[in-house]
Amino acid sequence: MESTEAKQKSFNEIINEDTPVLVDFYADWCAPCKMMTPILQQLKSAMGDKLTIIKIDTEKNPDVAIRYQVRGIPNLILFKKGQLLWQQAGVVQMPQLQQIIEQKLEQS
């Protein structure tokens, strides 16, 4: 997983790429957010290059969080070529998360 701070590309460049992108909005103080890290690592292992996963710290990037109406964290948003396909707040377990993502990508 890559943080947006580590990349030189802008958020818009990342979400507009051909590879679908799952964005995890989080904050360091958020306990449920910490639960998402191993789940997202499992998801990355399962989906490999079919999905890019990035984490956005809402404290450091409030403008992005506001743009996508992120009110609760953790908050997951799935993008494909810049289009928002799915958004959900709260912890989502790995099998359910993978199923939702694959289903949304098939429909798009």
User: Residue 30 catalytic?
Assistant: yes
Catalytic residue of the set 1, 27, 30, 91: 30
Give the residue numbers spanning the domain of 19.
2-107
**What pLDDT was estimated at residue 50?**
96
**What pLDDT was estimated at residue 13?**
95
User: Residue 33 catalytic?
Assistant: yes
Indicate the helix (H) or strand (E) that contains 22: strand 21-26
What is the rounded average pLDDT of the residues 31-40?
97
Residue with tokens 């450091």: 60
Residue 40 is part of a domain; what is its CATH number? 3.40.30.10
Catalytic residue of the set 33, 54, 65, 85: 33
- Residues 39-85 have pLDDT tens digits of 999 999 999 999 999 999 999 999 999 999 999 999 999 999 999 99
Q: Which of 100, 88, 96, 72 is nearest to 23 (CA)?
A: 88
**What pLDDT was estimated at residue 7?**
46
pLDDT at 104 over 50: yes
What are the backbone dihedrals phi and psi of residue 89, each rounded to the nearest 5 degrees, phi first?
A: -95, 150
Domain count for the chain: 1
What is the rounded average pLDDT of the residues 19-31?
97
